[in-house]
Every structure is written in structure tokens, then in C-alpha cells.
Amino acid sequence: MHGHDTPIVRKCNCGNIEVSGNHFTRIWKTGLSETLQQVIGHNPDPLIQIRSSGVLIYNPNSTSMQRVSDTQCIIQCSKCKDSVLVILGRGNAFAQFKRKGTAHVDGFSSAIPVQIGTAPNSIPRLLRNLISFNEIHEDTLAQNNDEDDEDAISPVPHSTNLLQDDDNDDDFDIMFSNTKEAVVGSYTESSMAMTFF
């Protein structure tokens, strides 16, 4: 088994950000710049080759994103301060954690971090398919329980009729009742005209 195809899952210290993919040990084969390869090589956390939805964020409201370029961003957990660098290379995508909130490279990006929960479209377009959200999380549930009952989503009132009775709905009758003769076989204009008119 090669080092670049060993399945791996890593999470930030509080579990809010999860990265899954394959451990990639041959940094020189990433197609990334030499400077970025050096940064990645000096980080003790493994480089993970990711695919679509390889980065999972459980609570976007506790996560910020710093855009580095159209093909790179840093996602940081607001709770544990761990961050993950997401990179789109030539034909491959990668992610690598950096623990305890230190930047991957001092001055790596001058962009101001944006909270993902309030601005999900701030993620660079080329990286969006690599990042997915699972907003049902203990922190989110606890936050929702702390809110006033008035702010909570209420059930639909019993007086609301979601299915309006419409006696003139031929499509509904054809699909869900035996009041109209079903058309079986190939469509011809003359057969349809005789059936419905």
C-alpha cells in the first residue's frame, strides 16, 4: 500500500471541523508552489488529499474562513482555534490542519476572516464543492434550546389546509384516484383528445 492512498480522518480539537480523504506523503507531487510545499512539509499534521465534501463543518456559526486566493482558504474553528488550510492544486485538492490557531504562514493572507455561518458564499467558488455543512450538532442544538420559545419554529397551525380541495384538478385525479381512465401505451394526439375531452 502506498502512503498516498491510506484513508484518514482528522478533526479539530472540539470536533467542529472534520477532514476526510487519503494521507498524501509525496508533497513534491502535489503540483503546488515550492513555498507552499515547504509550509506543508514543516507542519507535523498530515497532508490529506480530499475530494468533494472532504471538509465537513458541523457548526458554521462557530467557524470563520480567510480567503487566501481563488484556490486556497483557511478555515478556523472559533471554539478550539484549530485551522485547516484547503488548497486546490493541479488536478488534486488537499487539506491540512494547523493546531491551536496559529496561521499556516505569517502574513499568508491579509484577508479579514469572515464567519461562514453568516456568509457561506464567501468560500471561494472553486473550493465550494470541497466543503460541506452538517448543521445538526450538539452546539447548535444547545444554542437553539437556549433561545426563547417565541423564536423557535412552531408547527403548522391545525387550521391551515396544506392541500386545497380543487375539484377541477385533472392531474391530481388522474394520478391519485380512479375517477379518470388511465392512459396506457404510446401517446398520440387523437387518443389523448378522446380521453380528456
Residue 21, in any domain of the structure: yes
pTM of the model: 0.62
Phi, psi (5° rounding) for residue 84?
-130, 130
Spatial separation of the C-alpha atoms in residues 82 and 102, rounded to whole Å: 8
Please, what is the average pLDDT of the chain? Answer: 72
Residue 123, in any domain of the structure: yes
> Is residue 28 over pLDDT 70?
yes
Quick one: pLDDT at residue 110? 54
**pLDDT band, very low/low/confident/very high, at 152 (cuts 50, 70, 90):** very low
> Which residues have C-beta within 8 Å of that of residue 117, sequence separation ≥ 6?
59, 60, 61, 62, 63
Residues making up the chain, counted from first to last: 197
pLDDT digits (tens, 9 = 90+) for 115-144: 776 677 788 899 999 999 986 544 444 444
Residue 59, in any domain of the structure: yes
Q: Tell me which residue of 96, 1, 85, 84 sits closest to 46, measured CA to CA.
A: 96
- Alpha carbon distances (Å) from 83 to 33, 35, 102, 120, 195: 21, 19, 8, 17, 65
**pLDDT band, very low/low/confident/very high, at 73 (cuts 50, 70, 90):** very high
Spatial separation of the C-alpha atoms in residues 64 and 77, rounded to whole Å: 7
Question: Could you tell me the residue range of the domain that residue 84 belongs to?
Answer: 3-138
Domain CATH number, residue 46? 2.170.150
> Is residue 93 over pLDDT 50?
yes
Quick one: pLDDT at residue 159? 36
Domain count for the chain: 1
Cell numbers describing residue 195: 380521453
Residue 58, in any domain of the structure: yes
pLDDT digits (tens, 9 = 90+) for 162-194: 344 445 555 555 555 555 555 565 555 544 444
Residue 15, in any domain of the structure: yes
Residue 182, in any domain of the structure: no
Residue 143, in any domain of the structure: no
